[in-house]
Amino acid sequence: MKKIQSTRREYGDKELTDEEITVNPFTLFNTWLNQAIESGMLDASAMVLATVDENSKPDSRVVLLKDIDEQGFIFFTHYDSPKAAQAENSGTVALNFYWRELSKQIRIRGHIERISREASETYFASRPRGSQISTLASNQSTVIKNRDDLVKTVAQLTEEYQEQNIPCPSYWGGYRVVPFEFEFFLGRDNRLNDRVRYRLEDKQWLIERLSP
């Protein structure tokens, strides 16, 4: 435990200036995401998706951001998975992007909705065939007898769809997280971090600086 307690680092003297704080949080988000991608960081589009179950117990997992539009953030999953059931039951979720090398973090809370079937099918068609087959083979998060059976199912489906287009299953598709709150966090030396929060009020973004 002492080893953990003594583990620390300084974040640097970079700052989030008033000039950098845009009126629209999506603009600042895109700037930070592009910086993470251009830095060569692995999995820059990875985000933690947090939900609560029917007993109000929290749950979280890492998923990949696949698109951003003027309304929100899009990811794809199995519609019968626990994450989907939890998200649709509560109607709201939280996202967290963390870019360690840049000492940056973005927290987002928002409502969740399914994207159009057409959009889901278009994205599914762009995926590698191996990923498409895996989607058909896996009833996500359900208990399986062993891995060998799963591998056999993949082999069977690969043979079945040989030289054929693989259809997007009805139980798979995209979600859009429509934000009502952002928080941009920039780590600074001595833990005097910069934190800027955007809150949506009457269709306008209210911008606030927060104490570290």
The rounded mean pLDDT for the chain is 95
Q: pLDDT digit string (tens) for 113-158?
A: 999 999 999 999 999 999 999 999 988 888 888 999 899 999 999 9
Q: For the chain, which residues make up each domain, given as ranges? A: 8-125+170-210
Predicted TM-score of the model (pTM) = 0.93
Query: What are residue 61's DSSP bridge partners?
Result: 49
Domain 8-125+170-210 -> CATH class: mainly beta
- Give the active site residues: 191
The confidence score (pLDDT) of residue 1 equals: 61
* Alpha helices (runs of H) in the chain, residue ranges in sequence order: 2-5, 25-38, 82-90, 117-126, 129-137, 147-160
* pLDDT classification of 4: cutoffs 50, 70, 90: confident
| Residues in CB range of 175: below 8 A, 6 or more apart | 74, 75, 76, 77, 84, 87, 112, 113, 114, 115
- Nearest-angstrom CA–CA distance, 25 and 199: 10
- Nearest-angstrom CA–CA distance, 31 and 131: 30
